[in-house]
Structure 1
């Protein structure tokens, strides 16, 4: 069951509970489609899951919660993050079944009002995974950013991730089981019953043999980090991780840590599709590596293009990519952006074969390098939001791969003060723009960015946070898919006759 279906079910259930007994209206005599009678309603409950931020004692983590103001949203409600029970590790990165003691019922973070960010923090290696719930007026478009600074050691640098909704299937192209990488899959279960998940790995020659990844149980309201290298003895630089849930649902994210190149979170890629957009490659990227995988039974041939500020261009020598069925394929693009904003656009050359993909991006030189990941993402759609922005070090990239689009960007009030600001941009077809962000006046603290499509073709967006740490260009990139703050609900009419049936 995909995210859209889950959201639809949740929305219909919530609205039915509020409305009372109702009957869905049937199409009228004119033959109008029932979908035309559907209305977009704000969701009334949202669940987000944040993985345990770090295993380093030198880690400092900031959490930022934000809900954009949504017309028609229910009144009241709340948005809170609470600690999940963490399964202690057995030394091999897999939980041993011993649950860490709960840290009480006190929320780690509580939002005060829609339109204003709320912040929290944690330090060291003991910070737990978090389970978040928002309802009422705090639910539509609720987003939480987790940003961690690791001063030294494995994975040093800036690590950021948008806390994600629970689901039943995830793809992570770009993970690794190599000796110099320490990659964990974090599974978090928000529900009252246990979830059971399988983890499959696919390398350059196909499926990687492993039985350890089958039938992993995640207890209720808990989180488990699983070290990928414990699932197989096969050391590969690039693998695709596939997480499927047999029962229940989980949140999933991969934490990729490198001994020399820093580290970051690798979020789940967009669902397999024949056309993909990977937005927001930094201007000064020293190297860009594309990792792609097709889960179907057919090979895929992709046209590779870069959406630059001046239009779509084809990287010299990398015009196309052939992705063999069931095998992870890698394409090194080098410093493909060459000092300009850019996004990668992948399209099928002939047959439409679904593919998943992600980019590994490296900035810096020599021993002063840092890594981040950009997965293929969904379009902004009606609205998308990203939190934890500051007056300096924030870059917003907008991409319109197929048609010119008009986009409105709103910078919220600051978490500690300031007034919201709005600006509208036109993004030409086939281009990427690093736009000048409308920083809130009188800003104190951090702020959120909300991107709304006004007109034109689909828009894709990404936000980069950057900070210089001892000469290392630390950074992290988050994409901005649609926030799913509304759900289409078929028109309903009151029908008390159901009480007599």
Structure 2
């Protein structure tokens, strides 16, 4: 290939001459100079704009600097646990009975507990030292009671309402944990077919009205009705709703239900819900314990031993059916009951399962593992009384188990479903406290142990508290307390599921962001 001859660059035209030879138009003929923006004005506007931006940057920097220097310490990106310093609980009241309060001993000082009528008035009692206990018998009336605690007194505080009637239509022992206000609460137990009366107590302890929806599931499916929606509860009042006996109590649609899962949900404000059961003539009354939110794995502790019927109640709130594996745990071990090891439960229903044959008179617990979230509890009858229980979270170090009112014949039923557990049990009252009793629960076993007041000379009906603390390295423990009196056909009893006492609250994660400095 022959080389290409390039032109001589010296023969190109001079670009300077080309530029000078080009005739450019007169800019005065293109634009009226009077209409042009004044250059000085333009520069001043641009300068002001950038000056404003600079001032804004200085302000933000100052704000961040102030926040940095004024915060109490380094920010914890993982959040932290802080002691509970405020608590509110409601005891349903109305029918009278004993109110009992037990506070947790603590090296922290300060704070106060006051028990007052919800509608207002003088305090029934006050406490100012952690570790104190208090009890008072009240008369039947038309009000509930509100417990308010501040400071160190609020951490680990527990309160109960217990009634004892040895005759009449309300014969029996009945107990209720005084509960905190909430926006979504569950109960599972008998329906109107199995009980003479079901009274739902709705208490509003806040300064604004609350609006409540009551929703029910039965053995036949959901009880769809617009009744029970938008029930108004005025500030500092308790409203009693008769389930099956009033429009706000779901009206006639609920009357044919033998078993119920009841959901109490607020669409404005919050309430404390308590459900009272009058089982029938000379069968006494009882309060249904509040159930935890639906979960796929639950343990129902404290099914009492002895004669009588025992029924397991399971509700599937979702649309889809649930397949549930069941396991009964007694002192002899954990086993799947014959013919009941796997249960298919329809969605949006309550399923009842007789378990007295599996328990054969022993106290125990039932473990349920499902492929859908469920709510579970039990119904028990013995002698002249009835009792109900529900699933519980474990005592696993997050907080001790505390029971405020123990008397007559009291016992703990402790179950370790998945690993060996060890707990220390201490009883306390105004005279002092007992030496801690160490109780070991083998893995997959239930242990029942009797309780006694610190002062063994105390009267039979003098209340005392009990504190249950899992030891370091212990497996999870599910617990309940059985309170009883009498024998054979005169046997009266109540069961209280035990939940971890609230001693700390988790403060959310925080980081250095501009969002932390701007209103939400």
Give me the TM-score of the superposition, normalised by structure 1: 0.81
Q: Which has the higher contact order (CA 8 A, sep 6+)?
A: 1
* 2:469 alignment partner, one of 446, 449, 452: 452
3-state SS in 1 of match to 2:486: strand
Identify the structure with the greater strand proportion: 1
Structure 1 residue corresponding to 2:490, chosen from 463, 472, 479:
472
1:63 alignment partner in structure 2: 99
* Superposed displacement of residue 262, structure 1: 2.3
For 1:493 and 1:314, locate their aligned partners in 2 and report how far apart those are by CA, in whole Å.
49
* Alignment-derived partner of residue 79 in structure 1: 113
- Range moving further from structure 2, 156-165 or 296-305: 296-305
- Work out whether residues 50 and 131 of structure 1, in 8 Å CA contact, stay in contact via their aligned partners in 2: yes
Q: Per the alignment, in what secondary structure is the counterpart of residue 275 of structure 1?
A: strand
2: CA distance, partners of 1:21 / 1:423 = 48
Task: Name the stretch that deviates more: 131-140 or 170-179.
Answer: 170-179
Which residue in 2 is equivalent to 1:107?
123
Q: Which residue of the partner structure matches residue 431 of structure 1?
A: 445
Shift of 1:77: 1.5
Match of 1:240 in 2: 261
Paired position in structure 1 for 2:44: none
Structure 2: distance between partners of 1:144 and 1:21: 40
Q: Deviations over 1:250-287 (max 9, x none)?
A: 11121111114322100211111111111111121411
Give the corresponding residue for 2:417.
401
Aligned match of 2:199: 184
Correspondence 1:219 to 2:222 = no
- Alpha-carbon distance change, 69 to 209 in structure 1, aligned in 2, over 3 angstroms: same
Q: Give the direction of change, closer, same or farther, for the CA distance of 1:443–1:421 in structure 2 (3 Å limit).
A: farther
Distance 1:442 1:158, change over 3 A: closer
Match of 2:31 in 1: none
- 5+ residue gaps, structure 1, are 1-19, 28-33, 55-59, 86-103
3-state SS, counterpart of residue 347 of structure 1: strand
* Cα pair distance change 1:287/1:491, threshold 3 Å: same
Q: Which has the higher helix share?
A: 2
Q: Aligned ranges for residues 116-265 of structure 1 at < 5 Å?
A: 116-124=132-140, 126=141, 128-178=143-193, 180-230=195-245, 231-233=250-252, 234-260=255-281, 261-265=283-287
Normalised to the residue count of structure 2, the TM-score between the two structures is: 0.78
Contact 2:410 2:452 in 1 (8 A): no
Give SS of 2:311's match.
strand
After superposition, the CA RMSD in angstroms is 2.7
The Cα shift of 1:240 comes to 1.1
Q: Counterpart in 2 of 1:463? A: 481
Q: Find the aligned partners of 1:491 and 1:320 in 2 and give their Cα distance.
A: 42
Partner secondary structure for residue 115 of structure 2: strand
Deviates more, 1:261-270 or 1:195-204: 261-270
Distance 2:220 2:271 in 1: 29
Q: Secondary structure at the match of 1:461?
A: strand
Task: Give the structure 1 partner of residue 503 of structure 2.
Answer: 485
Mapped to 2, the partners of 1:23 and 1:175 lie a distance apart of: 53
How far does the alpha carbon of each residue in 1:79-98 deviate from its partner, in whole angstroms, 9 at most, with x for none? 1111123xxxxxxxxxxxxx
Using the alignment, how far apart are the partners of 1:388 and 1:282 within structure 2?
Answer: 18
1:22 aligns with 2:45: no
In 1, Cα distance between the equivalents of 2:485 and 2:454? 20
Structure-2 change in CA distance of 1:145 and 1:464 (3 Å): same
Distance in 2 separating the partners of 1:331 and 1:500: 55
SS at match of 2:89: strand
| Matches of 1:500 and 1:188, distance apart in 2 | 36
Q: 1:179 to 1:298 in 2, by over 3 A?
A: closer
* Structure (1 or 2) with the larger CA radius of gyration: 2
- The answer to whether the 8 A contact 1:157-1:469 is kept is no
Runs of 5+ consecutive residues of structure 2 not aligned to the other structure: 1-68
* Deviation, structure 1 residue 26: 5.3
Q: How far does residue 426 in structure 1 lie from its aligned partner after superposition?
A: 1.5
- 2:369 pairs, out of 306, 328, 347, with 347
Aligned twin of 1:357: 376
Q: Distance in 2 between matches of 1:196 and 1:48?
A: 19
Contact 1:285 1:361 in 2 (8 A): no
- Secondary structure, counterpart of 1:138 in structure 2: helix
Q: CA deviation at 1:449?
A: 0.9
Q: SS of the counterpart of 2:129?
A: coil
Instruction: Name the stretch that deviates more: 467-476 or 163-172.
Output: 467-476
Aligned residues: 436
C-alpha distance in 2 between matches for 1:299 and 1:247: 31
Cα distance change of structure 1 residues 467 and 494 upon mapping to structure 2, 3 Å threshold: farther
